[in-house]
Chain A
Amino acid sequence: TAGITQAPTSQILAAGRSMTLRCTQDMRHNAMYWYRQDLGLGLRLIHYSNTAGTTGKGEVPDGYSVSRANTDDFPLTLASAVPSQTSVYFCASSGGLENNEQFFGPGTRLTVL
């Protein structure tokens, strides 16, 4: 079982360009999450989805959008990247509101120049 996969592993992106970070899970988890992790800060929630077809805004949603067309996939799109979006992005999933742990993908390291 692969768990959660993310692509790409890393990317360098010119400011103003758009990009989609991909996330796929094979655990049939209802809930999925996108976090960014920056040095000295805790993981910050960007967007989440409690079930296929629904999405919600987290702590730092500006400049990002998501969709949840099916259970397995939860792509994150940067419409017009800015240098402050340079970060490590983690996708995670969990069985639902009452289930305990979140499982994390390997992360995408994004640099915006």
Chain B
Amino acid sequence: GQNIDQPTEMTATEGAIVQINCTYQTSGFNGLFWYQQHAGEAPTFLSYNVLDGLEEKGRFSSFLSRSKGYSYLLLKELQMKDSASYLCAVRDSNYQLIWGAGTKLIIKP
């Protein structure tokens, strides 16, 4: 079967750095996505990786290792507004997104 695993919840301090991991087992691979979802709102796109390596976008970076079925989202200089759920999703061989359950990130002052 297809499976996306990510931690249920993480806590970090304002101004610090946090890494959210995602491991996957899917039928085929056509890219990995990270989305941010604030409570009661819709998911919004953060990053996309299809090749191995690190993609940097401001305070957020995303890393992919296809051979290990592994990705992480790195958030730097954490701000209170970063408190949200972070969703990992893999596009499979049918070009459909398979979603993880999300990691709830709590930022403490």
Physical interaction between A and B:
yes
| B interface residues, how many (CB within 8 angstroms) | 19
- Interface residue ranges of A12-40 to B (CB < 8 Å): 35, 40
Query: For chain A, what secondary structure do more than half of its interface residues adopt (helix, strand, loop), or is it mixed?
Result: loop
- A43 partner residues in chain B, CB cutoff 8 A: 43, 87, 89, 97, 99
Shortest CB-to-CB span from B9 to chain A, Å, is 11
Q: Which of A48, A105, A106, A107 contacts B96 (CB 8 A)?
A: A48
Judge whether A2 is part of the interface by a CB distance below 8 angstroms. Answer: no
- The reply to whether B100 and A42 contact each other, CB–CB distance below 8 Å, is yes
B13 within 8 Å of A by Cβ? no
Nearest-Cβ distance from residue B36 to partner chain A, whole angstroms: 11
Interface residues of B in 1-53 (CB under 8 A from A): 4, 31, 33, 41-45, 48
Q: List, in ascending order, chain A residues with CB within 8 A of B101's CB.
A: 40-42
**C-alpha spacing A113/B45, complex, angstroms:** 33
13 examples of A-B residue contacts, CB within 8 angstroms = A35-B99, A40-B101, A42-B4, A42-B99, A43-B97, A43-B99, A44-B99, A45-B96, A90-B42, A90-B43, A100-B45, A100-B48, A102-B45
Q: Which residue numbers of A lie inside 8 Å of B, CB to CB?
A: 35, 40-45, 48, 58, 90, 97, 100-107
